[in-house]
């Protein structure tokens, strides 16, 4: 009878170990953050894109980025279809911010990374006026999509000299806003 509880404990311990971020993942996140900052500083967008395609960005990186005052824009791939129309965004958000974008498979990781930050109003992907207001106010924010209807939700986070749309599979680097 004592063997069954022991097996359960061993199973739970194994699951806990698997769920913990590995040392390699943490190292990759720190290395990736350093490479991002270097690429943005040098305006070397080609190396930035290569970095995004080759690195494994995970919970560790999502946790580190806000500490360095980098703003994240996050969301599901389908919901970002309209946000990829950079010419439309440029007409309303002439702020000088650099925007890098790559897709994320969902917003659960983001909610975890943004824990403790207040959630703001919900608005549609076409509401660029509100986006412009937030950028010009220089107040930190991040965007994430809800799984139900793809609407965009605002999180208040730190703002730096660039806005990064964060995800895991593909990269789009639009020209610097002027």
* 31 contact partners, CB below 8 Å, separation of at least 6: 55
Would residue 56 count as lying in a domain? no
Number of domains in the chain: 1
What pLDDT does 38 receive? Answer: 60
* Residue 112: pLDDT over 50: no
* Helix, strand, or coil (residue 98): strand
- Determine the average pLDDT of the residues in 136-161: 32
Would residue 38 count as lying in a domain? no
Would residue 79 count as lying in a domain? yes
- Determine the average pLDDT of the residues in 6-16: 43
What pLDDT does 41 receive? Answer: 56
DSSP 8-state assignment for residue 78: G
Would residue 156 count as lying in a domain? yes
Residues β-bridged to residue 172: 101
* Helix, strand, or coil (residue 127): coil
What pLDDT does 114 receive? Answer: 32
Range of 115's domain?
Answer: 69-172
Would residue 77 count as lying in a domain? yes
Its pTM stands at: 0.25
Quick: pLDDT tens for 16-54.
333 333 444 444 445 555 655 565 455 444 443 333 333
Assess contact for 167 and 105: CB atoms under 8 A.
Answer: yes
The alpha-helical segments, DSSP class H, found in 1-139 are 3-19, 23-41, 45-54, 59-67, 86-92, 108-113, 128-136
* Helix, strand, or coil (residue 76): strand
Would residue 22 count as lying in a domain? no
Q: Give CA separation, 151 vs 4, 64, 78, 177, in Å.
A: 47, 26, 11, 25
Would residue 16 count as lying in a domain? no
What pLDDT does 134 receive? Answer: 42
Would residue 120 count as lying in a domain? yes
Quick: pLDDT tens for 63-98.
333 333 333 333 323 333 333 443 443 333 322 222
């Amino acid at each position: 009878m004592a063997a069954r509880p022991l097996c359960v404990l061993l199973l739970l311990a194994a699951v806990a170990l698997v769920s913990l971020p590995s040392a390699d993942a943490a190292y990759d996140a720190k290395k990736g953050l350093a490479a991002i900052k270097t690429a943005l500083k040098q305006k070397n967008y080609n190396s930035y894109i290569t970095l995004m395609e080759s690195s494994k960005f995970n919970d560790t990186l999502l946790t580190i980025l806000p500490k360095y005052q980098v703003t994240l824009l996050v969301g599901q791939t389908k919901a970002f279809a309209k946000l990829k129309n950079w010419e439309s965004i440029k007409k309303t958000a002439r702020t000088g911010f650099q925007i890098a974008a790559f897709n994320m498979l969902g917003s659960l990781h983001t909610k975890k990374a943004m824990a403790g930050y207040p959630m703001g109003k919900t608005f549609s992907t076409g509401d660029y006026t509100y986006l412009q207001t937030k950028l010009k106010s220089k107040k930190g924010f991040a965007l994430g999509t809800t799984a139900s209807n793809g609407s965009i939700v605002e999180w208040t986070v730190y703002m730096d000299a660039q806005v990064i749309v964060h995800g895991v599979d593909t990269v789009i680097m639009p020209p610097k806003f002027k």
